[in-house]
Structure 1
Amino acid sequence: MHIVQQYDYSRVYKGKIDLLSGLPSSGERARPIQTLAWYPAQKSAAPALLYGDYIRSATTEEVFARTDAEVKQLAGAWIGQRWGGIGAAQAEQEWRRPMWAVRDAVELPGKFPVVIYAPSFSASAHESADLCEYLASQGYLVLASPDMGAHECTMSHDIEGVEAQVGDIEFLIGYAHGLAQADMAHLAVVGYSWGGMSNVFAAAKDSRITALVSLDGSLRYFPELVNSAKYVVPARLALPFLFVAARPRSIEDLLAKKQDLSASLMNNMAYTDLYKVTMYPMTHANFSSEYQRFASDAGGFGEYSRAETSLAHSWMARYVHQFLNAYLKNDAAGLAFMNGTPEKNLVPPHMLTLESRHANGQPPTLETLAEGLGKRGFEHAGEVYKDIKSRHGDFQPSEESLRGWGYQLLLANKTGAAIEIFKLVTVLFPDSWNAFDCLAEAYQQNQDRALAIKHYRRSLELEPKNDNAAQHLKTLNAAR
């Protein structure tokens, strides 16, 4: 395991004025992204990390240059501040518990699928260290950074907070590109709680993400934030998705807490292979392995025991592993596991249920239209559009996106294809002077004088002040 201290210089973190002192901020103001990297490594005679080493790493997530004395003091206070209900003996035992990872072990040669881990609300990068170590031991390169707000270590319950974590995920993807072990063609983002919503936002923005895992993600609990991001829509989430849910709460409890039940993005995700695993012994907190270590036996696990929830936690990790095997490694056994019943997979009775559904065709997007034209030819643009429209009545690409596509084709000297796209624009937007102006330009570039004149004239009929069309008609020696 490596610890990498780096900054995202494209984003500011510290304000001009230090809120603690009221004085001008000193030092680096860029966003700190301390990164934990777990990776397939050669066997080492060096001692494994202790869990306390992970806690020590958390003390430098916001301020890299802490002294050894500061790290020792902050790490010692960590358990008391966060897990004050446990006894000193249990705290000491967990602090000294050996892990699997070895610090800075020699990396195995080869390329490995990349997994970004996005932590829960205001949580440290190591909160699910056991899961991250396990995945690395199974041939994955796993990267994680802490969940921090846009300008302070505490996350905020708003869209700015979500976008801050999305930015961290994007940064880690960029960082992974420079790693010798990274197979960037196979990339997943695993998120827990808040991170299990931010990773969905990230996937809606970045189609390089090829699989998603949400561990009882806030996607369920903050529908208003999901709805506020207009780009987080099913058509932009056409990738395999595993949602591992905590024990369901009652309708009465949800209503009492004023949970918004009016919408579900997951219910509308028609273009993905969707698996929902519900873990009945687990509450929301049990998805954190740190919680499993430090929660008090007196009330920390409800009607279940630590052993029972830890067993459920291990099955959660197994489903994550098999899902990633299926979709990042194209592993037939992993896919069979995901499509098998819990009984067939030898899951203990009454531990979990599995619901699944497979993707229903391709999403109604410009990319789907382009793919269809790539197969059938751009001369069939109208037919391919009508085919998609017949299956998805709400498919309506914007005029701007279509015209932009047409101009890209023109710049690539694919004039015939550009003409077909601009013809489609004039069909879909018959009152747009700009659409006819674009089509006329394409015909002119194709040396088709008569059709260029015809469509420049049509553009001028729709917009008599279109000086561009008037000038081109002069160039073509044609009257308005």
Structure 2
Amino acid sequence: MRLTILQILIFFSGNLIAAQTSLKEINLENGAYKVGFRHYTATDSTRTYSRIFDYTNKKFSRPIPVSIWYPSEQEMVNREPLTVLDYFEVLKEEEEWEHLPNDQILNWFYYANTPANQKHLLETTTAYGGARSAKGKFPVIIYAPSFQASSIENFALCEYLASHGFVVISSPSRGTETRWFSNNNAKEMETQARDVEYLIKEISKYPVADDDIAIMGFSFGGLSNILVQTRNDKVKAVVSLDGTERYQYGLLTQSPFFDAFKMDVPYMHMAQKDIPEIVLKEDKIDAALNTEFKLYDSITKSKVYRLKFHNLSHTHFSTLGVLFAERDKRQDKRDPEIMKSYKWVARYTLQFLEATLKGDKNALQYIDNDPQYNGAADGLITLQIKRPEKEAYTFQDFHELALKKNYKNLVQLHDSILKKHTSFKIPEGNLNTLGLQLVFNPKTSDQGIKVFLLGTKLYPNSANLYDSLAEGYLFMGNDKKAIESFERSLELNPQNQNAINRLEQLKK
């Protein structure tokens, strides 16, 4: 009998049929590089963990199984590529059943022990264990698996991306205390986010890894990745393979780290087809899942791509789902249609990453095109693009530009900005605070005076700004200018006791 049931957002029912697919028929179009693969276990000493089936109270540092796919230029003479069974050896380790006999794999885990699935285990992949990495640096993709799933669940997609010049790193989705999630999904979402952040640090140790990073997640992994993006500046793009952030927005909002306003990098969400009414009714699924996408509606600062694949169900956004998952005859399409659509998922993922991490203009044009223009059959994919809302020009924007120009010609800079952003207004208090910060630092005193001069130009009746300008001149030893400015401040506000006291001291 099976040990566990794979939990995903869309629940399986009893209406299942066997799948007939293969890696060869999926036929992903690999790039110029051979693909190397490594798997090992790292340790996060900041957290504790227990092996659930050891039946002891022993706790130890959290193990982080790591799978890495990377570009290789090595000639693979006399080397054999990995088989699907080799990847299942990784799955066994991550499920903490390392010693399980291979002939029990399909009985023990998630997939039916059918002749077709036994045949899948013997299929060869395009990855080579331990191959030498190619020279140079490559952009990084961190993959977050679905609910309690293995790091290798999307191995074909990971190989495909590595062959096109990306480093892909993944670890399994596992619970906070043990292999299994608790009933607190908000806690487990945060745990998976921390695992992804651990991988950001882990991959930085590799000379082959560039600083540019994208995060990619399937199902539950999509939720965790939203948290990761909002608190990590290294993340430059997000790919979501039917991510649960579309279906469980409320779970996101339970996190103190979530803020849709911080979603400020390109984001591509690829979704399953509309769930048929019979499935909604029999599986007690809210029909709003077909239409609502609150996160999409909430994002204002980044460009968002929303694609719907009309021939894919939720589980078919992973390699293992396409190859091994039983089909639901109430809603799943035929295997050739599923494999063709999975190939389009891979293409759009690649083009999005080429555009966002490598700056490829042709790739950007590709993802902006209507899918039919790119060769997709009519009705296969629906695309929506949401562009960032035009934001008001802020004082922070102005200051960053002024800083680059070493605070020179601030009046002219202000006027040029005002021509493009007619509603732009610098708060008087911001100028006063910035000027004081600069003027009392001997290294930047001159810049502080320039800020105050801009301030008195914009706010000629501000006694406070003239008083601060005078303090700046006094700090710099220019008593004459200090007296002039204190006197102007006193004209504007005869009750300015600071100016009265300073002038009395200066004129002794």
Sort the TM-score into its range (normalised by shorter chain). 0.7 to 0.9
Which residue of 2 is the match for residue 169 of structure 1? Answer: 196
CA contact (8 A) 2:149 2:173 kept: yes
Match of 2:237 among 179, 204, 211: 211
Deviation of residue 227 (structure 1)? 2.5
Which residue of 2 is the match for residue 228 of structure 1? Answer: 254
Deviation of residue 79 (structure 1)? 2.5
1: CA distance, partners of 2:257 / 2:420 = 20
2: CA distance, partners of 1:375 / 1:152 = 50
- The 3-state SS of whatever aligns with 2:294 is coil
Listed as ranges, the matches of 1:23-102 within 5 Å are 23=57, 25=58, 28-29=60-61, 31-41=62-72, 42-44=74-76, 45-61=78-94, 71-73=98-100, 76-84=103-111, 86-102=112-128
Bigger shift: 164-173 or 252-261? 252-261
Structure whose alpha-carbon radius of gyration is higher: 2
1:258-310 Cα distance to aligned partner (Å, 9 max, x none): 8688872222323222211110011111111101111225x368341122111
- The 3-state SS of whatever aligns with 2:235 is coil
Q: Would the alpha carbon gap of residues 264 and 420 (structure 1) be closer, same or farther in structure 2, given more than 3 Å must change?
A: farther
CA contact (8 A) 2:439 2:472 kept: no
Which residue of 2 is the match for residue 7 of structure 1? Answer: 43
Which residue of 1 is the match for residue 333 of structure 2? Answer: 304
1: CA distance, partners of 2:162 / 2:189 = 27
| Structure 1 counterpart of 2:139, one-letter code | P
Gaps of 5+ in 2: 1-36, 456-466, 488-497
1:102-136 Cα distance to aligned partner (Å, 9 max, x none): 00011111111111111111111001001000000
Matched, 1:141 2:167: yes
| Structure 2 counterpart of 1:359, one-letter code | P
| Structure 2 counterpart of 1:174, one-letter code | K
TM-score (normalizing by structure 2): 0.72
Match of 1:286 among 316, 319, 325: 316
Q: Would the alpha carbon gap of residues 87 and 263 (structure 1) be closer, same or farther in structure 2, given more than 3 Å must change?
A: closer
TM-score (normalizing by structure 1): 0.76
Which residue of 1 is the match for residue 460 of structure 2? Answer: none
Listed as ranges, the matches of 1:246-325 within 5 Å are 246-249=272-275, 253=280, 257=286, 264-297=294-327, 299=328, 302-325=331-354
- The 3-state SS of whatever aligns with 1:337 is helix
Deviation of residue 320 (structure 1)? 0.4
Deviation of residue 160 (structure 1)? 2.3
Bigger shift: 407-416 or 305-314? 407-416
- The 3-state SS of whatever aligns with 2:129 is coil
- The 3-state SS of whatever aligns with 2:106 is helix
Structure 1 vs Structure 2 CA RMSD: 4.9
| Structure 2 counterpart of 1:280, one-letter code | H
- The 3-state SS of whatever aligns with 2:385 is strand
Q: Would the alpha carbon gap of residues 362 and 71 (structure 1) be closer, same or farther in structure 2, given more than 3 Å must change?
A: same
1: CA distance, partners of 2:121 / 2:332 = 26
2: CA distance, partners of 1:404 / 1:217 = 43
Gaps of 5+ in 1: 64-69, 426-436, 455-468
CA contact (8 A) 1:125 1:145 kept: yes
Deviation of residue 36 (structure 1)? 0.6
Deviation of residue 421 (structure 1)? 8.5
Identity %: 24
Bigger shift: 407-416 or 310-319? 407-416
- The 3-state SS of whatever aligns with 1:153 is coil
1: CA distance, partners of 2:91 / 2:171 = 10
Q: Would the alpha carbon gap of residues 360 and 93 (structure 1) be closer, same or farther in structure 2, given more than 3 Å must change?
A: same
| Structure 2 counterpart of 1:358, one-letter code | R
Q: Would the alpha carbon gap of residues 163 and 414 (structure 1) be closer, same or farther in structure 2, given more than 3 Å must change?
A: farther
Matched, 1:128 2:161: no
CA contact (8 A) 1:33 1:61 kept: no
* Count of aligned pairs: 453
- The 3-state SS of whatever aligns with 2:64 is strand
1: CA distance, partners of 2:442 / 2:338 = 58
